[in-house]
Amino acid sequence: MSFERVREALREFVAERDWAQFHSQENLIKSVAIESGELLECVQWGESSEPERVQAELADVLTYCYLLADKMGWDPEQIVLEKLEVTRAKYPVEKAKGRSTKYDQL
C-alpha cells in the first residue's frame, strides 16, 4: 500500500467533518502523545494478550502522526529513512552491537 492512499482517506475524513480547524501543529502533537498513553495502557501490567486492542491503539497513534506529517508537508516514510541515516551514525555497528546503551554513553 502507498501512503498517498491513506493520506487521501484521512483528508476526506477530516474535510467531511470540518475538523481541520482543530488540527493545529500543537493539537496534533498533543494527540500523538495522548494516543501513545492509551497504547501504553495495553501493557500497563505486562505484555498484552489482546492484539486487537494494541492494533487499534497503534492505529490511533499512527493516524495523528500521519495527519501531522501531512500538515507539515512531509512523507512519513521518507522522514523515517532520513532519520535512520542520522541514527546509523550515532550508533555505529561496532560500538552498538548487542547493547541497548544510549549513544552518549557508548
Site for a second copy in 81-100 (CB under 8 A): 81-84, 86-88, 91, 93, 96-98, 100
| Least gap, CB of 72 to a second copy (angstroms) | 6
Euclidean distance between CA atoms 44 and 57, whole angstroms: 14
Cβ distance 103 to 90 under 8 Å?
Answer: yes
| Least gap, CB of 87 to a second copy (angstroms) | 7
| Least gap, CB of 13 to a second copy (angstroms) | 6
Site for a second copy in 40-59 (CB under 8 A): 40-48, 51, 54-56, 58-59
Tell me the DSSP string of 74-89. --HHHHHHHHHHHHHH
Q: Which three cell numbers stand for residue 101?
A: 546503551
